[in-house]
Amino acid sequence: MSEEPDLSPVILSAAGAALVIDGSGSDLPRVRHFGADLGPAAGPDLLPALAAPTPVAPLLPAQGDSWYGRPGLSGERAGEHWPVRWTLDRFDAEATPGRGGTVTIAASDERAGLELVSELTMDAGGLVTMRHTVRNTAASPYRLQGLTCALPLPARAGELLDFTGRWALEKVPQRRAFGHGAWSRENRRGRTGHDGTGLLVAGTNGFGFRSGEVWAVHTGWSGNHVHYAERLHDGPCLLAGGELLEPGEIVLGEGESYSTPLVYFTWSGGGLDEASARLHDHLRAARPLPVRPVTLNNWEATYFDHGLDRLLELAERAATAGVERFVLDDGWFRHRRHDRAGLGDWYVDEGVWPDGLRPLADRVRKLGMQFGLWFEPEMVNPDSDLAREHPDWILGRAERTPPLQRNQLVLDLARPQAYDYLLERIDTIVTEYELDYIKWDHNRDIAEPVHDGVAGVHAQTSAAYRLLDELRRRHPALEIESCSSGGARVDLGVLARTDRVWTSDSNDALDRQAIQRWTGLLVPPDRLGCHVGAPRDHCTGRRLPLAFRAATALFGHMGVEWDLTSASASELEELATWIALHKRLRPVLHAGRVVRADHADPSSLVHGVVLPEHAVFAFVRLDSRVETGPDTLRLPGLDPDALYEVSVAGPLPERAAALPRWVEEPVRLHGAVLGELGLPAPVLRPTSALVIEVRRVTS
């Protein structure tokens, strides 16, 4: 008597999340559930219980699977359309209940001449990553048009949240009902974009930071990409992401393959914060970082004025305030007296720096600071030695010059000669000056990208990754910041290779409160560049008090973007106080779980970072209140059964009034009280912030 086949599904579970994969058929497996952990319910009886009245789409949905929405794979061969019907060849799973696992699926369609390998992993924090690889097994070329990763959504996901934005105002949220059809966000800027979604979120109606069930997708890729959510009137819902390919960009010869970027899926049963925490935990585990030094960047202090005496005075002031890293921005290389010339000529300008950068670098290090330097490797000015000598290195068609943006063209990094030049130049300068840090900029969108006659964003992005990887291999201690005219290249593809992102070119603390809040859904605070700007912001022109600027920068990778030679003695003293506070609280701020209260009053924000024994919160007054009654601060994320001591950390905001007892002297309350009833709030003027420290009482 033959043995009955095992019809039990594969269940990956960790940190309260579960992924249920049905591999019982002869075609591609289907994901029956992505959401809450199902506990001990696994077994042969689970699949019948999850059976739906309409077919459940497989991992790579197609019309042959009764999915009439956007297909997961699209392409053509010699002008012929071949609908793919996969036959399952291999289904391997390694799963540990409560600790996640990996599923590898291999399938093929001999008539279509294609093979597929799909990999799904759930890490110990419950985050799911997915990647598809398609291989051409036929003699004729296969022109790949699209390959995306998708997971199903339940019908109760009734709202969508994604983000738009612009230069100096990134990550502006927008919400809408999730009706029938597809909501697609397509990015063709050649970089992630100021308006890049970061995350596309689906959730139950009314979900917030601390409530509701949410699912989110992120494509870990710094080039063109797509995120979409789709609901059919007669079928399941999907949440998907992948690289956005232009016609002819990927053509697979016989035996050649293409792999999608890693696509990340996160779920939460308790609002956006839990979904965000899975992403933060994953990135921190994948790339642990040393202590994040407080960083001063000279750009807004001096711009292109690189007089040595002025820079040395700035370094002296920075060291006095407690800064730990000094970064020299744009303007140090040949012909670079403004932004219209010199980009690409990566040699120290002998006219400005007759003794090289050594006098500045040596003095910075004697002051106890690290030394860093700005580069923009992927761009070139037409007015540069590089562009005049190598016009064939420009990304675009040789017959016509691509459109200028910011007086820049794009250097074709996929061209070996251009790649080798950049690697040699950057490597030489890093070695000569023993650089601790690079600020790596990318200041324009990529228009009309053509490499060897075909669309070039895929090749350009891949080459940029190789360049970053090779520099890190040669200089393992080198830290790299991803900047892209502010926050236009913020994604997990670049963060797999860099140590932080420049969140926005705007240091306006009022705008930064929202920019950091929403960018922080994807990126943890230790990787968010957050600087104390000048009293008058150079982007918005708004004047804000130092205490508000510093309290805003406190909750990230703190730095300074201000001409400290113009600061008064009292301002320097106050700045030093805030930097000292950041250093003291850094072990919490850069390791804890980010929490954001669903505060009822839109004129205020409450957010924090929580570890089991220690937490830091901010109560932020953005604008004038309409209500005249008392405001209440609920502090989320604390252990409800633990006793905590609550006190004010740092200076009190100017003209704070109606101070409750806990502001003037510490009080002790249980986490349940702090989270549910909260604390009476002091009266703060607009653009003020109060920093609150919470310590667990152990005896």
What are the 10-residue block averages of pLDDT along the chain, 699 residues in total?
A: 58 96 90 92 64 71 88 92 92 95 97 97 98 98 97 96 97 97 97 95 98 98 98 90 97 98 98 98 97 98 96 98 98 97 98 97 98 98 98 95 96 98 98 98 97 97 98 98 97 98 98 98 98 97 98 98 98 98 98 96 96 98 89 96 97 90 96 97 96 94
Rounded CA-CA distance 443/464 in Å is 14
Q: Is residue 153 part of a domain?
A: yes
**Same domain (yes/no): 525, 624:** no
- Evaluate whether 115 touches 137 at the Cβ level (below 8 Å): yes
Torsion sign, CA atoms 516, 595, 551, 481: negative
Question: CB neighbours of 62 closer than 8 A, spacing ≥ 6?
Answer: 71, 72, 73, 83, 84, 85
Determine the 3-state secondary structure of 673 from DSSP. helix
**Same domain (yes/no): 232, 331:** no
Q: Which of 482, 556, 541 is nearest to 510 (CA)?
A: 541
Question: CB neighbours of 144 closer than 8 A, spacing ≥ 6?
Answer: 74, 75, 134, 245, 250, 251, 252, 258
What tens digit of pLDDT does each residue of 556-587 get?
999 999 999 999 999 999 999 999 999 999 99
Residue 579 Cα distances to 70, 130, 298, 318, angstroms: 51, 40, 17, 11
**Same domain (yes/no): 489, 575:** yes
Q: Which of 425, 432, 263, 460 is nearest to 361 (CA)?
A: 432
Residue 357 CB-density burial (10 A; 0-12 exposed, 13-18 middle, 19+ buried):
buried
Range of the structural domain that residue 618 is part of: 597-696
pLDDT at 630: 83
CA angle 663, 665, 666 (to 5 degrees): 90
Q: Is residue 3 part of a domain?
A: no
Give how many domains the chain has, as a whole number. 3
Torsion sign, CA atoms 37, 40, 41, 45: positive
pTM of the shown model: 0.97
Rounded CA-CA distance 387/30 in Å is 52
Q: Is residue 2 part of a domain?
A: no
- Return the DSSP state at 411: B
Taking each helix axis from N to C end, the angle separating 416-432 and 457-474, rounded to the nearest 10 degrees, works out to: 30
Q: Which of 13, 272, 16, 269 is nearest to 154 (CA)?
A: 269
**Same domain (yes/no): 269, 358:** no
- Boundary of a domain, candidates 264, 286, 308: 286
**Same domain (yes/no): 126, 256:** yes
Give me the CATH number covering residue 96: 2.70.98.60
Determine the 3-state secondary structure of 486 from DSSP. coil
- Boundary of a domain, candidates 568, 587, 606: 587
Give me the CATH number covering residue 639: 2.60.40.1180
**Same domain (yes/no): 552, 610:** no
Write down the H helix ranges in 631-696.
661-664, 671-676
Residue located via tokens 């950041």: 582
**Same domain (yes/no): 156, 222:** yes
**Same domain (yes/no): 138, 22:** yes
Q: Is residue 5 part of a domain?
A: no
pLDDT at 564: 98
Q: Which residues are annotated as catalytic?
A: 441, 505
Helix (H) or strand (E) holding 572: helix 569-589
Q: List b or e across 498-522, with b for residues whose CB sees 16 or more CB atoms inside 10 angstroms.
A: bbbbbbbbbbbbbbbbbbbbbbbbb
Rg (C-alpha) for the chain, rounded Å, is: 27
